[in-house]
Amino acid sequence: MYKLLTHNDLDGVGCGILAKLAFGKEVRVRYNSIASLNREVEWFLDNEDKDTLLFITDLSVNEENEKRLETFYQGGGKVQFLDHHKTALHLNEYEWGSVTVEDKDGKLTSATSLFYEYLLEHGLLQASDTIAEFVELIRQYDTWEWEKNDNQRARQLNALFFLVSIEEFEEVMLERLQKSEFFHFDDFEKRILDMEDDKIDRYIRRKRRQLVQTKIGDYYAGVVHAESYHSELGNELGKEYPHLDYIVILNMGGKRAGFRTIHNHVDVSEVAGRFAGGGHAKASGCSLTDEAYKLFVENTFPLDPLTEDAKRNRYNMKQSSFGSMYKNRSDVIFLLYPENDHWVIEENKTKIDQHFASFEEAETFLKRNYEAWLVRDNIFVSYLMETIGSIDKIDMS
Ligand SMILES: [Mn+2]
């Protein structure tokens, strides 16, 4: 017999599906949250079932279970731990532990990709193109590589996972992986995925107008309240406001904060670590401790949201050599333009002291310090008319 304890996200359930493909009725699979895994491991160890091979994938065990698993293994119990989180690397010291963050070609791994390799190596599963593609989609989703590769199928597989129950997802995927020659979505799935995409777009548009900016330590953060679509939201808000180091997504019902960044200079697992949370460099989370509540909820509640840059301009464009015009909430006008080999900022027609190596650097400075936005063409054009008007007057005198 086999038993698999795994995570209840797409990567964890991917392992469950592979286990059922490999072992059929011989395996029992339990999907766990981070918190419930240790209880399940304890329960298994209390029963001392030495005939069952226990797999643990995509989640890590606490110190006590680590010791108990070792004792169980030394006493003839069968355990295989497979994970890809660097926070679990210390478990590699055990014979039953196998933690791989990157494969031999330097590609990031996921629990599903590691478990697939394991099953193939031990002759427990027959390789197939369909399964390999399914595994790769999950790997790309779980490691965020889909973003870089713009792999929409990976994103959609995860969206589908959240639209149906785990049981339904398992059932549909098991059948598809056994019977199809390639991995695909059926017509019904395509339709609901399209509807879901539209819904996410509308949701994100609304949330873009609710984001407030705050400085925490050395970093500038954007804070928004949202119950759903955290990955999509973190990603889109990060791209819309690249001057922010990271995005904080507050889920008040769940009393949690999620952290997302699109930048390489920030590791949000460290940010979450400050509040006893954790996760990956690009995505992490923590519970709303008193300190986190004060910083992210209480202090930011009175703030006004950022205003988005004008999107449909033809004249007031970013990076223009004629200058790009910004404004802030106190109606201060900023003009950003190149001069010699750098970029300068005029604040109400007076040049500020600093200059900048690139347009992006100047804009980041402007947005971090003044929360200014690119104004619409009509404001830009009337400003130019006014300026030209006053030059004419000077000429005539
Ligand atoms: Mn994973």
Domain containing residue 215: CATH number? 3.10.310.30
Q: What's the 323 CA to ligand 1 centre distance in angstroms?
A: 46
Query: Residue 305 falls within a domain, yes or no?
Result: no
**195, 198, 202, 207 alpha-carbon torsion, rounded to 10°:** 90
pLDDT at 144: 86
pLDDT score for 28: 97
pLDDT of 397 over the 60 cut: no
Q: Mean pLDDT throughout 178-204?
A: 95
State in Å: Cα 191 to ligand 1 middle: 28
pLDDT at 333: 96
CA of 302 to the centre of ligand 1 (A): 37
Q: Is residue 62 part of a domain?
A: yes
Q: Is the pLDDT of residue 244 over 90?
A: yes
Are 50 and 138 contained in the same domain? yes
Ligand 1 center–CA 289 separation, angstroms:
25
- How far does the centroid of ligand 1 lie from the alpha carbon of residue 84, in Å? 7
- 320 or 87, which is more confident? 320
Same domain, 65 and 154: yes
Contact predicate 54/46, CB 8 Å: no
Please check the confidence at residue 8 and state whether its pLDDT lies above 70: yes
Confidence of residue 391 (pLDDT cuts 50, 70, 90): low
CATH number for the domain that contains residue 81: 3.90.1640
* Structure tokens belonging to residue 239: 């791209």
Residue 231: per-residue pLDDT? 85
Report how far ligand 1's centroid is from the alpha carbon of 109 (Å): 8
**How many structural domains does the chain have?**
3
Write down the pLDDT at residue 34: 84
Q: Same structural domain for residues 275 and 342? A: no
pLDDT band, residue 390 (cuts 50/70/90): low
Q: Is residue 273 located within the same domain as residue 328?
A: no
Q: Are 289 and 333 found together in one domain?
A: no
Task: Tell me the average pLDDT across 258-264.
Answer: 96
Q: Please report whether residue 314 resides in a domain.
A: no
Q: How far apart are CA 195 and CA 207, in angstroms?
A: 19
| Dist. CA 25–CA 32, nearest whole Å | 20
* CA separation for the pair 247, 9 (Å, rounded): 22
Tell me, in angstroms, the distance from the centre of ligand 1 to residue 254's CA. Answer: 22
Average pLDDT over residues 290-296: 96
Mean pLDDT of 300-309: 97
Provide the residues around ligand 1 (an ion) whose CB is within 5 A: 11, 58, 110-111, 142
Whether the per-residue pLDDT at 388 is higher than 80: the answer is no
Q: Which residue has the higher pLDDT, 25 or 35?
A: 25
pLDDT at 301 over 80: yes
Mean pLDDT score across all residues of the chain: 94
In sign, the C-alpha dihedral spanning 22, 27, 32, 34 is negative
Instruction: Tell how far the Cα of 157 is from the centroid of ligand 1, in angstroms.
Output: 15
Are residues 42 and 108 located together in one domain of the fold? yes
Residue 54, pLDDT > 60, answer: yes
10 CA to centre of ligand 1 in angstroms: 8
Q: By residue range, what is the domain housing residue 386?
A: 324-396
* Residues with Cβ within 8 Å of residue 378, at least 6 apart in sequence: none
Highest mean pLDDT among 143-147, 310-314, 383-387: 310-314
Q: Which residues contact 144 (CB under 8 A, 6 or more apart)?
A: 280, 282, 283
Q: Do 122 and 212 share a domain, yes or no? A: no
Q: Give the range among 161-165, 364-368, 390-394 with minimum mean pLDDT.
A: 390-394
Residue-level pLDDT at 146: 92
Q: Is the pLDDT of residue 148 over 90?
A: no
pTM: 0.73
Distance 3 CA to ligand 1 centre (A): 19
- Enter the tokens of residue 208: 């873009």
Residues 101, 48 share a domain: yes
Task: Report how far ligand 1's centroid is from the alpha carbon of 297 (Å).
Answer: 29
Band of pLDDT at residue 393, cut at 50, 70 and 90: low
pLDDT at 147 over 90: no
Does 373 reside within a domain? yes
Answer yes or no: is 192 within a domain.
no
Boundary-marking domain end, from 185, 219, 245: 185
Q: Are residues 351 and 275 in the same domain?
A: no
Cα 281 to ligand 1 centroid, rounded to whole Å: 13
354: in domain? yes
Write the CB contacts of 394 (distance below 8 Å, at least 6 apart in sequence): none
Same domain, 51 and 174: yes
Q: Do 231 and 91 share a structural domain?
A: no
Q: What percent of the chain has pLDDT over 70?
A: 98
Residue 137 and residue 68 share a domain? yes
Distance 167 CA to ligand 1 centre (A): 19
| Neighbouring C-beta atoms of residue 175, cutoff 10 Å | 10
* Residue 199: inside a domain: no
Task: For residues 324-351, give the mean pLDDT.
Answer: 96
